Structure formats: C-alpha cells, structure tokens
Amino acid sequence: MLSLSTTTGYAIRALSCLGGPDGPPMLVKDLAAQSDVSNFYLAKIISRLSEAGLVKSKRGYTGGVQLARPAEEISLLDVSRAIDGEQWTEGCLLGMAQCSDERACPHHHFWKKTRCEIKKNLAETSLKDSAEFEARKK
C-alpha cells in the first residue's frame, strides 16, 4: 500500500491542532496529548518542521509551538517534504536503482504519472483542510 509515512501522518495531525501564526503557542506535551502522539517522538517531529520553516518554537515559560504561517498556506506536500524529503515519490515503484526514462522498468511510466498526481493533490491540500476534517471528527 502506498501512503504517507506514519511520521508524516503524525506531523499532519499535530499541525492540524495548532492555530495560525498569531495564535497562542502550544506546549509540545499538550500538542502530543491532543494529537495522540508520544511526547518524545513529537518533539523530534517538531524539530524537523522547525528546520523546514513550517513552525516556530519558543522555549521558556511563555514558549511553545505555533505555525510559521497561516494553515491555508502550508500544504501537505510541504509537510511531507519536511519529514520524508522527496525519496518516497522519486524512487522506482519496484525499487530498481537504475530506473529512468531512458532505462524504464515495466511500471515506470505508470508510476511517473501517478507520482505527479499524488504531488499535485498534496500540494493542493492545506493544513486548514486537514484541521477542518479533524474538527468534524470530534
């Protein structure tokens, strides 16, 4: 089954719990509890998201995590790239190291077209969309 990594899923769930960049910062432990992710693991995820510029984090008494820009401006593709890089959509479907347009495996053209569609859909889906879905579930 082709899907986003578990870590990317956790990141999306956690980010969907945050307000916009002007909202109050949220403590990682509270964010972890609300998004049902381990506190320790979420701290690692937040670190990656911070390095990618998707969240701002501040230490101390008034610290916490908040989105670096509005949720509608952060796509699921942005989150996926921050967590997993490009490799999950760039490799050969069969895992062949030498697969390319010039030296294609039997499924190369199908996977190339599918990759483009997946990226397009992820780029068009924002954290705001995800947050609205999460809110409807409750």
pLDDT of residue 72: 95
Which of residues 107 and 63 earns the better pLDDT score? 107
Residue 12 is classified by DSSP as: H
Strands (E), 1-138: 55-58, 64-67
pLDDT of residue 53: 97
Prediction pTM value: 0.86
CA distance 73 to 109: 31
Domain residue ranges in the chain: 6-137
Mean pLDDT along residues 77-103: 87
pLDDT of residue 90: 77
pLDDT of residue 7: 96
Strands (E), 26-90: 55-58, 64-67
Domain 6-137 CATH class label: mainly alpha
CA distance 62 to 106: 56
Per-residue pLDDT reduced to its tens digit, 30-87:
999 999 999 999 999 999 999 999 999 888 777 799 999 999 999 999 999 999 988 7
Answer whether residue 97 shows pLDDT above 70: yes
Per-residue pLDDT reduced to its tens digit, 1-43:
467 899 999 999 999 999 777 778 999 999 999 999 999 999 9
